[in-house]
Amino acid sequence: DSGVTQTPKHLITATGQRVTLRCSPRSGDLSVYWYQQSLDQGLQFLIQYYNGEERAKGNILERFSAQQFPDLHSELNLSSLELGDSALYFCASTPSGTPDNEQFFGPGTRLTVL
Amino acid sequence: GQSLEQPSEVTAVEGAIVQINCTYQTSGFYGLSWYQQHDGGAPTFLSYNALDGLEETGRFSSFLSRSDSYGYLLLQELQMKDSASYFCAVVNTGGFKTIFGAGTRLFVKA
């Protein structure tokens, strides 16, 4: 158990819908990262937040947005969902905003878009 | 662009040694990390190389050569439980983006 929690574990929805994925980092960690992993694919970096502020941005679609709240939990919002958005979504956390070598990953949310 | 290349699959027998290579094209990065991911599970950190050379952590070792744009993960005394996917990753110096390789699926046979 990494100490990072993600909810829900599974999510099934329809095309065109909007969902929110939630992540709570390890106690004391200030940075949260979001990744997308499609079937049998690598991890695609979406976005990083540090202490409430956006720190780095990857190939995140305009239909996706994220934020980190004062209590440091983070939410990833996915809208106008398409079939291709079906994937595992992981969040990870690290203690600081500097490039931390070891990221601690949550168990993931499996999103299925029908 | 920035990319990390890994073999898609490697097969080895229990008790053997296997090396998983990672070659990269990136303008600058802080170091090379390795993660393990079992099917249906989350990635877990294995090793990190900030400098050139070999880092050893138990049965796992990792190597980096910045001049050759190359690194590898070495797994010794393979066990069945080592069957998993292995990813190399870097954080680039321009923008702090984390880049993962596509992963190498390791099959350990009895």
pLDDT in tens, A2-17: 899 999 999 999 999 9
CA dihedral B96, A58, A5, A95 (to 10 degrees): 10
The residue written with tokens 């090396």 in the block is B19
Q: Can you read off the two tokens belonging to residue B32?
A: 């090379």
Kindly state the average pLDDT of the residues A43-64: 93
What percentage of residues in chain A have a pLDDT greater than 70?
96
Q: Is A102 on the interface with B (CB under 8 A)?
A: yes
CB atoms closer than 10 angstroms to residue B71: 27
Phi, psi of A8 (to 5 degrees): -75, 175
Residue type, A31: S
Which residues does chain A have within 8 Å of residue B89's beta carbon, measured at their own beta carbons? 43
According to DSSP, the β-strands at A87-94 and A109-113 are antiparallel
pLDDT in tens, B36-70: 999 989 999 999 998 999 999 899 999 999 999 99
Residue type, A55: R
pLDDT score for A100: 65
According to DSSP, the β-strands at A5-7 and B84-92 are unpaired
Question: Which among B31, B42, B98 is the nearest to A45, CB-wise?
Answer: B98
User: What is the residue-averaged pLDDT of chain A?
Assistant: 93
Say how many CB pairs under 8 Å bridge A and B. 61
pLDDT score for B1: 61
Contact between chains at B100 and A43 (C-beta distance less than 8 A): yes
Question: Which among B41, B45, B96 is the nearest to A102, CB-wise?
Answer: B45
Residues of B with CB under 8 A from a CB of A: 30-31, 33, 41-45, 48, 50, 87, 89, 91, 95-103
Contact between chains at B102 and A58 (C-beta distance less than 8 A): no
Kindly state the average pLDDT of the residues A78-103: 89
CA dist., res. A28 & res. A72, Å (int): 9
The three-state secondary structure class of A45 is: strand
Residue type, B14: E
CA-nearest residue to A90 within chain B is B42
pLDDT score for A99: 65
The three-state secondary structure class of A84 is: helix
Phi, psi of A83 (to 5 degrees): -55, -40
Q: Is A49 on the interface with B (CB under 8 A)?
A: no
The residue written with tokens 């049998």 in the block is A40
Residue type, B4: L
- Disruptive mutation site among B32, B57, B87, B91 for chain A (greatest number of A CBs within 10 Å): B91
Q: Can you read off the two tokens belonging to residue B86?
A: 């292995």
Which residues does chain A have within 8 Å of residue B33's beta carbon, measured at their own beta carbons? 101-103
**A31 has a pLDDT exceeding 70:** yes
